[in-house]
Amino acid sequence: MHYRGPCFQKIRRLGALPGLTSQKPRAGSDLRKQSCPGKKSQYSICLEEKQKLHFHYGLTEQQLLKYVCIAGNAKRSTGQVLLQLLEMRLDNILFRLGMASTIPQGCQLVNHRHILVNGRIVDIPSYRCKCRDIIIVRDEQKFRALVQNYFDSTSPEELPKHLMLHPFQYKGLINQIIDSKWVDLKINELLVVEYYSRQT
């Protein structure tokens, strides 16, 4: 279940979480300094990095642990594989394409069966997209009007190189697996891996 509490409280403590909310905290309000006056322990630093992933991607603890375990079994860097797994979720791809202004909105589009992947309806937000997948909004006016509102309400940002968008067709294409440098989140993924290694 996606986090539904006060977003500002989280971004003031953890920093920008673009997947959670498109809103920004007011200038001059920095709760991170107020709430942690002393030196942080290594555990608390790792915990904060883990919480960034938790809130940015809207994952439960069980879901995040599952992704860490999958990444740990890969032959490549666990941290990089973890970020790639999270970035290739369908709800996140919709967010990156600009079809949703946040990841929870992307999740809602998928849950309501508005999205086709390679011509088939997919209603699982955690669906793992692959290279060459084609994502398109269902060809019904009410669905496409909803996505058009997202296009109109957000300023266009540079699209990650692994994605291609055809806005007039409400269609996106995945060209390749994402490079970790395109992850729009200030995160030290190695600390997340360290956090979970301490739990086992």
Residue 108 scores a pLDDT above 60: yes
Say whether both 104 and 169 belong to one domain.
yes
Percent share of the chain, pLDDT over 70: 76
Are 47 and 102 part of one and the same domain?
A: no
Identify whether residues 172 and 185 lie together within a single domain. no
pLDDT band per the 50, 70, 90 thresholds, residue 62 = very high
Q: Which domain holds residue 25?
A: 7-85+181-199
Q: Are both 81 and 100 inside the same structural domain?
A: no
Same domain (yes/no): 133, 185: no
CA separation for the pair 71, 90 (Å, rounded): 18
Domain co-membership, 22 together with 43: yes
Structure tokens at 176: 């390749």
pLDDT of residue 31 exceeding 70, the answer is no
Of 10-19, 43-52, 162-171, the poorest mean pLDDT is in: 10-19
Q: Which two tokens stand for residue 171?
A: 């269609």
Beta bridge partners of residue 120, listed in sequence order: 117
Provide mean pLDDT across the span 10-25: 60
* Strand ranges for the chain from DSSP E: 115-117, 120-121, 134-137, 163-166, 171-174
pTM across the whole model: 0.83
